[in-house]
Amino acid sequence: MRISEEVKEGLYQGNPVVALESTIIAQGLPYPENIRVAIELEQLIRDNGGIPATIGIIKGEIIIGMNKNEIEYIATAPSVMKLSTREIPLCVASGLDGATTVSATSYIAEKAHINVFATGGIGGVHRDVISTFDISRDLEELSERDIIIVSSGAKSILDIPKTVEFLETKGVLVVGFQCNEFPSFYSRKSGVRIPSVNSYEEVSRIFKAKKELSIKGAILVANPVPEEEEIPYETMEKWINEALELAKENGVSGKNVTPFLLSKIFELSEGKALSTNIALVKNNARIATLIAKEILS
């Protein structure tokens, strides 16, 4: 495991470090936007007074705080594994390249004593769960990690009510950042009500109370996409159903489902979904940095 000098120094000095995942770079966003966004996210965190720590694995080495070359490498290398926590040892032991999902990133971030993690959307319970049993490892992992994760909820390629129920079963605290509905990634609504928090300070107090009480499990801060970038729920529903249909026709299964659906939605929306995706991740990185600062103050 290698921690970059910047991140090491930041942690040592008690500065706000924010973890970022690499699956969004390698499998979530298309090239060349993936490189541009990864670099811009880091810059945005720095501009807000934080230290970015992009996490991923290159040739078997776990890196916390990838540099620009490493980000470019993971964005373009031909066979980058998509890693949930269980595959970390496989990737490390075989000396392979791997991009970390929410589950693997939160595991590694916690090991490095990073408290806050920003992403786009988390994995969840898939709509066809009854026949496929497909529930993302993200949910179980978050139930065991001591971290704050800022995400725009989950995509409605998933079954959002079941995802939120499962998070409750697993003991993951879900709070809406200045909202009381679990956001569905591209749109601000989903119909699922959640408690709301109004300030960074409130999130920080909850995090500290949870620690003092030794209650394990992440705090999922659900931060809706900015209004001006939102795609109406009904429009999304149409594209999602088309993408789901295509996935079925092509026999896509397992860990290929999420990346397949994402890329189809980008195509069907003629780029709108991509620009919304980028806007919301950036907004999450900013909010995560401000929360990380508050925790340390």
Catalytic positions? 21, 155
134 sits near Mn ion (criterion: CB under 5 A) = yes
> Nearest residue to ligand PSU, using CB?
28
Pull the structure tokens for residue 242: 């088309």
Q: What are phi and psi of 56, to 5 degrees?
A: -170, 180
Residues contributing to the site for ligand PSU (CB under 6 A)? 21, 23-24, 28, 101-102, 120-123, 136-138, 155, 185, 255, 258, 262
138 sits near Mn ion (criterion: CB under 5 A) = no
Distance of CA 182 to the CA centre of its chain: 15
Residue 121 binds: one of ligand PSU, Mn ion, none (C-beta under 5 to 8 A by kind): ligand PSU
Q: CB 249 → ligand PSU: shortest distance, Å?
A: 20
Q: Minimal CA–CA distance to 54: which of 9, 10, 4, 94?
A: 4
Return the SS3 of 64: strand
Distance of CA 135 to the CA centre of its chain: 16
Q: Minimal CA–CA distance to 26: which of 64, 69, 87, 71?
A: 71
Q: CA-to-CA distance for 231 and 141, rounded, in angstroms? A: 29
Residue 138 binds: one of Mn ion, ligand PSU, none (C-beta under 5 to 8 A by kind): ligand PSU
13-32 binders of Mn ion (CB under 5 A)? none
Nearer to Mn ion, 130 or 215 (CB): 130
Return the SS3 of 135: strand
Nearer to Mn ion, 134 or 294 (CB): 134
Judged by CB under 5 A, the stretch of 26-34, 82-90, 128-136, 171-179 that binds Mn ion is: 128-136
Residues lying near Mn ion in the complex (CB under 5 A): 134
